[in-house]
């Protein structure tokens, strides 16, 4: 049979663990928001999709290869010919991609 001190200690540990994880999740969200705010914005036409890389042709005619990772937030269905906006980090890894009207 469980004693009251054991039950209280288990519940206390559970509460403290949840509080610690919520602070960690908040820190991760804050870091992600900071990275997104510092990101470079690329706008252009989606020329092709090549094994997880999206090739975007900008207004000045240059083609930029934007790499998609598991952390990339893709808004909507993107397909060849769409006008898109991509927010990328300094290594051209996409943080956010969406189609433009």
Over the stretch 83-93, which tens digit does the pLDDT of each residue have? 999 999 888 88
Domain co-membership, 50 together with 95: yes
Position 70 pLDDT exceeds 50: yes
Residues 54 and 91 in one domain: yes
Element containing residue 88 per DSSP (H, E): strand 83-88
Mean model confidence pLDDT for the chain: 78
d(CA 78, CA 26): 30
Residue 62 in tokens: 């240059």
Structural domain including 95 reads 41-99
Domain count, the chain: 2
One domain for residues 11 and 57:
no
pTM to 2 decimal places: 0.64
CATH number at residue 48: 2.40.50.140
> Looking at residue 2, what is its pLDDT?
65
Question: Residue 93 forms beta bridges with which residues?
Answer: 67
Reading the block at residue 16, the tokens are 């403290």
pLDDT band per the 50, 70, 90 thresholds, residue 34? low
Query: Does residue 3 sit in the same domain as residue 26?
Result: yes
pLDDT digits (tens, 9 = 90+) for 4-16: 777 666 666 555 4
Q: Sheet with 63-67: list strands edge to edge.
A: 63-67, 53-57, 40-50, 83-88, 94-99, 73-75
Helix or strand (DSSP H, E) at 20: helix 4-37
């Amino acid at each position: 049979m469980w004693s009251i001190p054991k039950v209280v200690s288990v519940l206390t540990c559970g509460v403290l663990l949840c509080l610690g994880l919520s602070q960690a999740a908040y820190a991760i969200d804050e870091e992600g928001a900071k990275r997104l705010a510092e990101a470079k914005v690329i706008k252009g036409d989606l020329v092709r999709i090549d094994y997880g890389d999206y090739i975007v042709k900008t207004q000045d005619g240059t083609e930029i290869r934007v790499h998609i990772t598991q952390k990339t937030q893709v808004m909507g269905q993107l397909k060849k010919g769409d006008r898109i906006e991509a927010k990328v980090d300094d290594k051209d890894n996409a943080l956010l991609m969406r189609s433009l009207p």
